[in-house]
Structure 1
Amino acid sequence: MLIAHVLRGKGADVHTLPASATLQQAAEELNARRVGALVVLDGEGALIGVFSERDLVREVARRGMVALSAEIGAAMTRNVITAHPDETIDDCLGRMTDRRIRHLPVMEGQGLVGIVSIGDLVKHRIAAAEAEAAAMQAYIAAH
């Protein structure tokens, strides 16, 4: 199964913030949207980073509550690992496991077309395994 199939199922909504947003604003957005990461865009709408719950916790633990007034541009992950819609779920799961990341922005050319989490991908893998098991049971029962 491809990442494009996952995006069709979950939708292509991506929650974003500019690098100038504060950690406080990011925390509020993460909470309001019930997501674990936000994509950070520059003034032209290009991907420049990802800000996750881990980034927030790390900054607050390191600097205390004063960190909440800092800009997310200073705390975000800059070397963003991305996916393409034509990649397989297995390829992306492997990349996420190897790199110890939970979110992959999905890019087509220079355009951001979605984001997938490790939870999204595991959910699809489980659904595929369950469908395969059901098909196998139906086959065995018919013969």
Structure 2
Amino acid sequence: MLVRTILSDKGGDVVVISPDSTVDQAVSLLAEKKIGAIVVTRGDGRIAGILSERDIVRMLAADGAEALGKPVSKAMTAKVKVCHEDNSVNEVMGIMTQGRFRHLPVERDGKLAGIISIGDVVKRRIEEIEHEAEEIRNYIATA
């Protein structure tokens, strides 16, 4: 299964924030949307970074409450790993596992096209395994 299939099922809507927004604004958005990461984009739709709960916790530990007034650009992960619509679920699992990421932006033509979470990936992989097991059971039953 490809990332394209996951996005076509779940949609390409992604919560984004600008690099000059405050960490406090990002925290409010994370809470409101009940999500664990926000993609940071420039005005042209290109990915500037990603801000996760982990990034915020690290900044709070270092700077205390003052962190909330700082720009997202100071807390975000700027070197973002991305995937593309033609990546397979297994490839994405490898990227996420190796980098210990829970969210992976999907890029198309240099711009944000969607986001894949570890939950999306695990769900699809389980579906694939269940489908394969069903095919094997059917093959054995008819053989």
- TM-score in same-fold range (> 0.5): yes
How far off is 1:138 after superposition?
2.7
Number of matched residues?
143
Q: CA deviation at 1:101?
A: 1.3
CA RMSD between the two structures: 1.2
By how many angstroms is 1:135 displaced?
Answer: 2.3
User: What secondary structure does 1:55 align onto?
Assistant: helix
> With structure 1 as the length reference, what TM-score do the two structures score?
0.94
Match of 2:77, SS state, is coil
Deviations 1:59-108 (A, max 9, x none): 11221122111111111000011101011111111111111211111111
Q: Are 1:107 and 2:140 an aligned pair? A: no
Post-superposition Cα deviations, 1:9-53, rounded to whole Å, max 9, x if no partner, equal: 211111100011111111111111111111101232221100011
Pairing of 1:1-143 with structure 2 (within 5 A): 1-143=1-143
- Which amino acid is the alignment partner of residue 79 of structure 2? N
Q: Which runs of 5+ in 2 are unaligned?
A: none
Amino acid aligned to 1:73: S
What TM-score, normalized to structure 2? 0.94
The CA distance in 2 between the partners of 1:114 and 1:78, in whole Å, is 17
| Structure 1: runs of 5 or more not aligned | none
Aligned partner letter, 1:14: V
